[in-house]
Amino acid sequence: MYSRAYKTLASLPPLLWVGLFLLLPYVLMFAHSFWTVREGAVVHEWNLSNYLTLISNPVYADVLFRTMRIAASVTLCSLLLGYPLAYYLSFHAGARKELLYQLVIVPLWVSYLVRGYAWKTILGSEGVLNGFLQYLHLTQEPVAFLLYSPFAVVLVLTHIYTPFVFLPIYAALEHIPRPLVEASQDLGAGSAQTFFRVILPLSLPGLLAGATFAFVLSLGDFLAPLLVGGASGTMIANVVQSLFGAAFDWPLGAAISVCILIITISLLFLSERLEKRWSFK
């Protein structure tokens, strides 16, 4: 057995770490959201004016809703890509399973920035895609909405987060005992019935975990809109960034952050409750 002193000593570094770099910033953020800026300085006066601004100025609500729309689109697209991929790998890939799995994982090792810039060169007006379309004489002018649009943001984020959706779904599918699939066929169910009655219900916890990843990560993303979003693709994190930077309104930025944090925590909480209800171990 370890002595009490040893235990206290051993748990001190992680506690300090969490306290210093997680709890303290949150407390500061929370406090800032009730303060104000006057003549270029943060004034420590407690009031709700930042939150009132958020409610009264429709710009913020617009950006927030757009952000949630984009996050929802990313979630849907990456599920539509990630689930069939995970299903194919788990049930039908045979000997190619390992290789394909690695191919899905490899993009995670490539820097986010590199992948973002790669999309710029593909989608831009002088980009690969527009060049190809014009070469085929399908279009005369470069197609403008490809880059600097919500579409581009959804595309890039889907590319980035699909592996995050794939992984938990793949893990859930791999955990389905194969005799269950055989039992279903044995009882007269074809492939489609077996999928909808056995495989899909048993993979729901993985699907939910993947969807939560995609949605929450997209919700707080600011790089993709910065690189390919343009004015129409601005997301809430970009607003926070500019409030903390150029606009120098930390209190308002903090208030928005608190709102995003509340949304995120509620989502995680809900998702965990549902995951528990849907798992049958």
Partner 1 sequence: MSSTAASAEHLLPASPAALLEVRGVAKRFGTRDVLKDISLNVASGEFLTLLGESGSGKTTLLRLIAGFEQPTSGQIWMSGERLDTLPPYKRRVNTVFQNYALFPHLSVRENVSYGLRVKKTSPKEIGGRVDEALRMVKMQEFAASRPSKLSGGQQQRVALARALINRPQLLLLDEPLSALDANLRKQMQSELKALQRELGITFLFVTHDQEEAMALSDRIALLRDGALEQVASPREIYAHPATAYTAEFIGQTNLLRGEIRRSIVTCGVLRWPLEDADGPATFSLRPEAIRLCSDGKRQTSEVKFHGTVRQQIYGGATELLEVDCGADQLLRVRLPASGLITGENDFVFTLADAIRVKE
List alpha helices for 92-199, DSSP H: 97-105, 112-123, 128-135, 150-174, 178-186, 191-194
Q: What count of Cα atoms within 13 Å lies in the side-chain half-sphere of residue 58?
A: 0
Nearest to 127 by CA among 149, 142, 148, 145: 142
By CB under 8 A, residue 281 contacts partner 1? yes
Which one, 29 or 204, has the nearer CB to partner 1?
204
By CB under 8 A, residue 76 contacts partner 1? no
Of 196-215, which residues contact partner 1 (CB under 8 A)? 197-198, 201-202
Q: Which stretch binds partner 1 (CB under 8 A): 35-43, 108-116, 244-252, 273-281?
A: 273-281
Tell the smallest beta-carbon distance from residue 194 to partner 1 (Å): 8
Residue 167 Cα distances to 70, 199, 254, angstroms:
21, 16, 33
By CB under 8 A, residue 68 contacts partner 1? no
Of 172-191, which residues contact partner 1 (CB under 8 A)? 177, 179-180, 182-190
Task: Report the distance separating Cα 49 and Cα 255, nearest Å.
Answer: 10
By CB under 8 A, residue 273 contacts partner 1? no
Phi-psi region of 235 (alpha: psi -120 to 50; beta: other; left: phi over 0): beta
Which one, 141 or 186, has the nearer CB to partner 1?
186
By CB under 8 A, residue 277 contacts partner 1? no
- The residue whose two tokens read 């600097």 is 148
By CB under 8 A, residue 274 contacts partner 1? no
By CB under 8 A, residue 262 contacts partner 1? no
Return residues touching partner 1 (CB under 8 A): 177, 179-180, 182-190, 193, 197-198, 201-202, 278, 280-281
